[in-house]
């Protein structure tokens, strides 16, 4: 006789994984999470418990602001320079070195014949960041364009969820994902877009690991309040387990 994996007395709730990402930044309170890893999504929860999203529809439709988008834009810029359609960029030589090829067209089969094309493209985002650090204007523009898109997505979600009406002094916006390891390159443009649209946002880079969001979500399902001391206590517990 097959046994259930979860006991029938246990309470089971299924959520989009973005809700745990939100909670480990807001400690269970309403707000917005901007995920920018290999893919991207802007996800929010308002005071009435309504969930809404902008983006996150898959890389074939559009995930601007993601590592994939940065990498794809970088590769496109290199090919535009190769074709003479746009200015030269340091990305060209960096991409040749990355793929260990002698000419840019040799990159094509490595991308199109890969079983993990999305991940291959996202890996190029590091080259875009490096080139931007080195003063490459093409790479800097790519980062600016994606940062602007992130800002617009956050503002769009605030409007969709009518979150302005709740008189929040500063909208908590949790920033999650590898792209924000270099938040310094995106911060100015994101803030500029939000400020231009009259949005006062508190951009949060969480201090606790993502698993903390799942713990908070479980506590919220039981209508338990999250004490301000949770963050310090949870971090201390993780350090104890790692030791």
What average pLDDT score do residues 191-210 get?
86
- Tens digits of per-residue pLDDT, 127-184? 999 999 999 999 999 999 999 999 999 999 998 887 754 556 788 999 999 999 999 9
Question: Which residue, of 125, 143, 161, is where some domain finishes?
Answer: 143
Tally of residues, the chain:
243
Question: Which residue, of 111, 143, 175, is where some domain finishes?
Answer: 143
**Burial class (CB within 10 angstroms; exposed 0-12, middle 13-18, buried 19+) of 84:** exposed
pLDDT of residue 165: 47
Q: Report the C-alpha gap between 43 and 52 in whole angstroms.
A: 6
Taking alpha carbons only, the member of 200, 194, 190, 204 closest to residue 147 is 190
| 220 and 196 in a common domain | yes
| 193 and 114 in a common domain | no
| 137 and 25 in a common domain | no
| 132 and 115 in a common domain | yes
| 196 and 119 in a common domain | no
107 close to 92: Cβ distance less than 8 angstroms:
no
What average pLDDT score do residues 53-63 get?
89
Task: Give me the residues paired with residue 52 across strands.
Answer: 44
| 181 and 72 in a common domain | no
- Hey, what's the torsion of the CAs at 164, 167, 173, 174, to 10 degrees? -130
- Tens digits of per-residue pLDDT, 10-46? 665 666 677 778 887 887 888 999 999 999 999 998 8
Question: Which residue, of 143, 166, 187, is where some domain finishes?
Answer: 143
| 158 and 113 in a common domain | no
User: What are the counts of helices (DSSP H) followed by strands (DSSP E) for the chain?
Assistant: 10, 5
The percentage of the chain sitting over the pLDDT mark of 90, rounded to a whole number, equals 59
Tell me the CATH number at 103: 3.30.420.40
Within a domain: residue 40?
Answer: yes
pLDDT of residue 90: 98
Question: Which structural domain range is residue 170 located in?
Answer: 18-60+150-237
38 close to 66: Cβ distance less than 8 angstroms:
yes
63 close to 40: Cβ distance less than 8 angstroms:
yes
| 161 and 93 in a common domain | no
Name the average pLDDT for the chain: 86
Q: Please report the DSSP string for 62-85 in residue order.
A: --TTSHHHHHHHHHHHHHHHHHTS
Count of domains for the chain: 2
pTM listed for this prediction: 0.85
Q: What phi and psi, each to the nearest 5 degrees, are found at residue 85?
A: -90, -15
């Amino acid at each position: 006789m097959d046994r259930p994996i979860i006991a029938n007395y246990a309470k089971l709730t299924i959520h989009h994984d973005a809700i745990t990402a939100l909670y480990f930044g807001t400690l269970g309170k309403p707000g917005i999470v901007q995920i920018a890893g290999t893919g991207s999504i802007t996800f929010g929860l308002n005071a009435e418990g309504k969930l809404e999203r902008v983006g996150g529809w898959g890389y074939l439709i559009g995930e601007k602001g993601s590592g994939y988008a940065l990498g794809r834009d970088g590769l496109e810029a290199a090919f535009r320079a190769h074709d003479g359609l746009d200015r030269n960029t340091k990305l060209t030589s960096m991409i040749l070195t990355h793929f260990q090829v002698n000419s840019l067209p040799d990159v094509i089969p490595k991308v199109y014949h890969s079983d993990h094309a999305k991940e291959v493209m996202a890996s190029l985002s590091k080259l875009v960041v490096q080139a931007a650090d080195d003063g490459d204007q093409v790479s800097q523009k790519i980062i600016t364009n994606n940062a602007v898109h992130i800002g617009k997505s956050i503002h769009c979600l605030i409007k969709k969820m009518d979150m302005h009406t709740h008189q929040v002094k500063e909208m908590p916006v949790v920033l999650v994902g590898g792209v924000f390891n270099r938040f310094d390159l995106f911060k100015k443009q994101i803030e500029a877009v939000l400020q231009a649209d009259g949005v006062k946002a508190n951009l949060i880079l969480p201090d606790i690991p993502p698993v903390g969001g799942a713990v908070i979500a479980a506590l919220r399902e039981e209508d338990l309040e999250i004490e301000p001391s949770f963050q310090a206590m949870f971090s201390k517990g993780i350090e104890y387990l790692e030791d």
